[in-house]
Amino acid sequence: MIKNKILILGVLFSAIFSSNTTMAQNAKTQSNLSENNLPFNMPKVQIPVFKADTLNIADFGAVPNSEKLATKAINEAIKKCSGSGGGVVVIPSGMWTTGPIYMKSNVNLHAKNGAYILFTSDLDQYQLIQSYFEGNKVMRCESPIMGVDLENVAITGEGIFDGNGSKWRPVKISKMSEGQWKELVNSGGVLSKDRKTWYPSEEALVGNEQKEKLPKTPTVENMKPYKQALRPVMVSFVNCKKLLLDGVTFQNSPAWNVNPLMCENVTLSNLNIRNPWYSQNGDGLDLESCRIGTVTNCRFDVGDDAICIKSGKDEEGRKRGKPTELFVITNCVVYHAHGGFVIGSEMSGGVRNLFVKNLTFIGTDCGLRFKSTRGRGGVVENIWVEDIRMTNIPTEAIRFEMFYFDKSATEDPITGEMVVQKIPVAETTPVFKNMYFNNIYVDGAKQAVKIMGIPEMPVENIQFKNMILRSDAGIQLNYASNIQFDNVDLKLTKSGTATRLFSSQNINFKKFGTTGENQVFLVGGNSTKDINVNMYNRKLSAKDLKVMESIKNQVKIID
């Protein structure tokens, strides 16, 4: 008995010390941040502070390393902690199985080193609720971790939260080896009609691919059979203030992993965010319509985009009108992901005033990814990105794509030129402008830079400075305006044209160097004008520069 009391006191003291240490470390981070010379006025990020009062879930009946659900114990501890003025709720080391965790204000849920929290695969534990996904208000299952309208809330420690996502997610045959696919199919579930997608149940298949069979007027009751199609994000905080996530691992989510939505004063630090590389909708972090915060020293290895900035989708996002703004994102590493740092495609409420520094992308499908499409609307502006390192990028190191999901946009397979019909500008027109890239290093990519704007609203006022690029293909611009390349060293690992410019205006290359190509510039498009080129490593000859006859006077070589 005495030994048990000593052990409990040790756990409580450790939790309090760890929590206070976390607060101090983040206060130090904030202090350093305030000293940086940021290109916009950054308010001081408010970090949550907690009472030293500590509760242990084991004292509420949670039993580790057993099949007994700890749901009731965890949530009763959180509720009591919040109701008594707040403090720390400790999850000790051990394996704990639980249903949804409901966070409360003034509570720091602290998962000790060795704590493994596995969310149950029993879907009856997750109720259908009105929630959010991909920018819209929709009916979904409860998230494994959720909090709504909270203030002063945190999840800290060194523990692991596992969303048991394989029980929810469909899997595409193209994302698995033959052996893996065979094993998955033999495990149960059902295949789509074309036998290229596996679903965990018939209901999940119907909910995704046969929506005509779903109730015409969805309700909580009539949608219950299709719960596996209504996959939740794993960590959902909606309309919360002073949110801290620090130190823990979030992995294996049913859909998106970590999704703060309409939150203010957000501090995310020292997180490990993981999903299988084949996980459908397996985003890492989706900051959506949030204000004021930092993301520092996090690691991502996921099945979709890693660090993703969003602000709502189409009309609903525009009506909400809440941009994601005033964030500093630094010192993060991304392994597998569709995109390393991403804005879009759901950005209808706008994105502005972001500072991104010191990121490393290792084998990430695309490095810096900016995407939207006609119909989204929204303005993305005032984005600063610097000190970025990339290696082994299978597609583009930097890509702007304003035709996301648009099948009508076609690209000439030889020249790379896109010819797209111009339409009137409206509130549904997406705008990407005023973005600054400095100190970008790429050691291996399929293509260095690709900008695909739209004729009625070109990607505008983008500056690339101090770049070393090693890639198979070089730079390609379509429907871009006021693009500056300054001190860029491009080396092609496959012979071809280094730079392709079409339907773009006011494009300037200053101190531009290339090697490995058989042609430096290909310039076309009747609307192209004001192209200025200054090379630092050669004097251009006729064979280096191929320009469409009607616009030859628009291209100037500046010695």
Q: Per residue in 331-362, pLDDT tens?
A: 999 999 999 999 999 999 999 999 999 999 99
Secondary structure letter of residue 45 according to DSSP:
P
The phi, psi pair for 192, rounded to 5°, reads -65, 170
Q: Model confidence at 405, in pLDDT bands (50, 70, 90)?
A: low
Amino acid 12: pLDDT: 40
Mean pLDDT of 499-503: 97
pTM: 0.93
| Residue 136 bridge partners (DSSP) | 133
Q: For residue 225, what is the DSSP state?
A: G
Contact status, residue 340 vs residue 359, Cβ threshold 8 Å? yes
pLDDT at 513 over 60: yes
At 284-321, the pLDDT tens digits run: 999 999 999 999 999 999 999 999 999 999 999 999 99
First to last CA, the chain: 85
Task: Give 19's pLDDT tier (boundaries 50, 70, 90).
Answer: very low
Contacts with 7 (C-beta within 8 Å, 6 or more apart), sequence order: none
Residue 553 corresponds to which amino acid? N
Separation between Cα atoms, residue 35 and residue 17, nearest integer Å: 27
Q: What is the pLDDT of residue 381?
A: 98
Q: 418 falls in which pLDDT band (50, 70, 90)?
A: confident
Give the C-alpha separation, 279 to 301, whole Å. Answer: 11
- The closest of 276, 273, 283 to 246, measured between CA atoms, is 273
Strands 197-199 and 190-191: antiparallel
Q: What is the arithmetic mean of pLDDT over 518-528?
A: 95
Among all chains, which residue has been given the structure tokens 């490995």? 516
Question: Cα–Cα distance between 71 and 60 in angstroms, integer?
Answer: 10
State what percent of residues in the chain have pLDDT above 70. Answer: 93
User: Which pLDDT band, with edges at 50, 70 and 90, does 36 fall under?
Assistant: low
Q: 452: which residues sit within 8 A by CB, 6+ positions away?
A: 399, 400, 401, 402, 403, 409, 418, 459, 478, 479
Residue 211 has what pLDDT? 87
Task: Report the pLDDT value the prediction gives residue 13, as an integer from 0 to 100.
Answer: 39
Task: Identify each DSSP E strand in 270-350 by its residue range.
Answer: 272-274, 285-288, 291-296, 299-301, 307-310, 324-334, 339-343
Q: Is the pLDDT of residue 508 over 80?
A: yes
pLDDT at 104 over 70: yes
Beta-ladder partners of 515: 491
Copy the structure tokens of residue 280.
């459908």
What is the distance between the alpha carbons of residues 52 and 411, in angstroms, rounded to a whole number? Answer: 61
From 441, 452, 270, 481, select the one nearest 372 (Cα to Cα).
Answer: 452
- Where b means 16+ CB within 10 Å and e means fewer, 394-414 reads ebbbbbbbbbbeeeebebeee
Contact 154, 111 (CB under 8 A): no
What pLDDT shows up at residue 14? 44
Residue 57 has pLDDT above 50, yes or no: yes
The pLDDT confidence band at residue 407, using thresholds 50, 70 and 90, is low
* Band of residue 404 on the pLDDT scale cut at 50, 70, 90: confident
User: Which run of H or of E encompasses 379?
Assistant: strand 379-401
Distances (CA, A) of 480 to 103, 130, 404: 46, 40, 16
Q: What is the mean pLDDT of residues 101-123?
A: 97
pLDDT of residue 1: 40
Phi then psi dihedrals of residue 524, to 5 deg: -150, -175
* Average pLDDT in the chain: 92
pLDDT confidence band for 28 (50 / 70 / 90) = very low
Please name the residues in contact with 412: beta carbons below 8 A apart, sequence gap of 6 or more. Answer: 418, 419
Distance CA 118, CA 99 (A): 9
How many other CB atoms are found less than 10 A from the CB of residue 389? 17
For residue 213, how many other CB atoms are within 10 A of its CB?
10
φ, ψ for residue 311, nearest 5 deg = -160, 40
Separation between Cα atoms, residue 228 and residue 225, nearest integer Å: 8
pLDDT of residue 541: 85
Percentage of the residues of the chain whose pLDDT score is greater than 90: 85
Amino acid at 377: G
Backbone torsions φ then ψ of 219, nearest 5 degrees? -135, 170
Residues 6 or more apart from 291 whose CB is under 8 A from it?
263, 264, 265, 322, 324, 325, 326
Tally Cβ neighbours within 10 Å of residue 104.
19
pLDDT of residue 471 exceeding 70, the answer is yes
Instruction: Find residue 467's DSSP bridge partners.
Output: 440, 488
pLDDT recorded at residue 542: 80
Distance CA 430, CA 200 (A): 37
pLDDT at 22 over 80: no
More confident residue, 415 or 150: 150
Evaluate if residue 414 carries a pLDDT over 60: yes
Going by C-beta distance under 8 Å and a sequence separation of 6 or more, which residues neighbour residue 219? none
> Hey, what's the torsion of the CAs at 439, 444, 447, 448, to 10 degrees?
10
Which tens digit of pLDDT belongs to each residue from 247-293?
Answer: 999 999 999 999 999 999 999 999 999 999 999 999 999 999 999 99
The CA distance from 12 to 296, in Å, is 27
pLDDT tens digit string along 228-248?
A: 999 999 999 999 999 999 999
The predicted pLDDT at position 470 comes to 98
